[in-house]
Structure formats: C-alpha cells, structure tokens
Amino acid sequence: MRLPRLPQEAVDFGLRLFRRFVEIEGAQQATVLAAQAFTSLIPFLVVGSAFGPGDEEVSERIIDRFDLDGGAARSVDALFNTSGEVASAVTWVSVVILILSALSFTRAMQRMFQRAYLHPPAGVRDTWRGLAWLAGFGAWISLSAPLRNSLEDLGGVVFTLCLTGASAFVLWLWTPAILLPDADWRRLVPGAAVSGVLNGFVTLGLAIYIPIAMTWSADRYGLIGVAFTLQTALLVVGFVAVLGAVAGAVTSEVYERTAP
C-alpha cells in the first residue's frame, strides 16, 4: 500500500538520511571529532587564551558558563591549568606541535564533510584551509562567548536558544565553506540551518547536564571524572556536526533533483 505523497516523501527523505549516515560511518566520525577536539582543539584554545588579550582563562569561562563550584570548579581549574603556568611553559617547538595537532582535528572534520557531500578529497596544498579555520574558530569563540545570556528565566532561555542557534548557523555555514575547495555555499545553507537548530537545543541540554554530571564525577573520580564529562559533551556536539552535514547534503541533493 502506497503512503500519501507527503508522508511518503518524508519517509524517503528519512531513509536517504539514514543511508548516508551509515555510508559515511557517522557514529565513528562523531567519535573521532570528539576525541580530536579533546586532545587537540581544547589545548589549542587553552594556549590561545594564555596569550590572548583578555584576562579570563578557559577554566574560568567553563566555571562561569555552567555555574560550577566546589570540587567540580577546582577540578576544571586544575585540568586547564592557569594562563601564567601555560605561558611560561610554552616554547616555539611546542606551539608548532600544538598547531600540527590541531590541524589533525580540522582534517578529520574536512574528511567528514567531504564524505557527507560526496566531495573529492583535498590535497596537501589545501592545508591553509585548516589554519584559516583555526584562526576563524578562535575569533568566533572570543566574539560569541561574552554574548551568551543566563538561563535563570524564560527570557534568558529564549535569548540563549536564539543566539546560540544563530551563531552556530554562521559557524557551520562557514566551516564547510572554508574546508571544502570550490564549495557552493548555497548547498551548505540547509546543513548550517539544521546544525544551528540542533546546537541551540543541545546547548540548553548541556547547560543542565554538565553541572550535574561534572559535580558528581568530580566528587567521585576527580580530574578523570571531569574529563569524561567533557568528552561526553564533545561527543554530543560531534553528532550534531555529522547530522547537520548529512542533512544538508541530502537536502541539497533532493532539491537539485526535483528543481525544474
């Protein structure tokens, strides 16, 4: 029995999404992105914060953002160290190693977008794209972090949801545009829109989950508990990135196929 047209198209679209997610090994891609972000991207931001113009450290931003206190706050501060200690320990060799490590994250993300959009692999000559993304991401973090409002009332929740979604839309539109050579930005808009919506709701969910989970983990397991909580949060964000890319790629393909 054939379903009515609209439900049938919705089912077909969902099946296409599922097949593409399986084809690109979406769960593995999300896991790789989360692991690379924890081992490469976060240290990159910590060092950048140590030498940045502001006085607020990454640990302070995390503590303030999720209203942590007690053992959780102490563990986060210990995990990310202090700007003075980081600055005094950094050498030019370690900076180069750190940048190369951060580029492994951008390459993993680039491969994910390439597979999702059926884009040909980029060559070594496109390494500058990863460096450009790291610079842009650092600027995005610096500009978007002070704009986030509190979640103490309905107005704060709505504001945070809208602002996070809008800033995530910009990030996930620009990310594949810079990482994929000759990318058509119009094909990237649906994926950025999906990622923006998902990021808004994920941010609200993590704002509830992280303080509870991090406090519980820090009290029982110390630093390793905080690390596990951060890794879980990054895994959720990794899934959002993959789902957004897959949804955007499939949506653009369906539109191109049905357009007159």
Measured from the Cβ of residue 53, the count of other Cβ atoms closer than 10 Å reads: 5
Give yes or no for residue 196 having a pLDDT over 90: no
User: Model confidence over 233-250: pLDDT tens digits?
Assistant: 899 999 999 999 999 889
Contact by Cβ (8 Å): 179, 110: yes
Instruction: Domain ranges for the chain, please list them.
Output: 5-258
Dist. CA 50–CA 54, nearest whole Å: 9
Average pLDDT, rounded, for the chain: 77
Query: Band of the pLDDT at 59, cuts 50, 70, 90?
Result: low
Q: How far, in whole angstroms, is CA 156 from its chain's centroid?
A: 22
Dist. CA 44–CA 46, nearest whole Å: 5
Query: Band of the pLDDT at 5, cuts 50, 70, 90?
Result: low
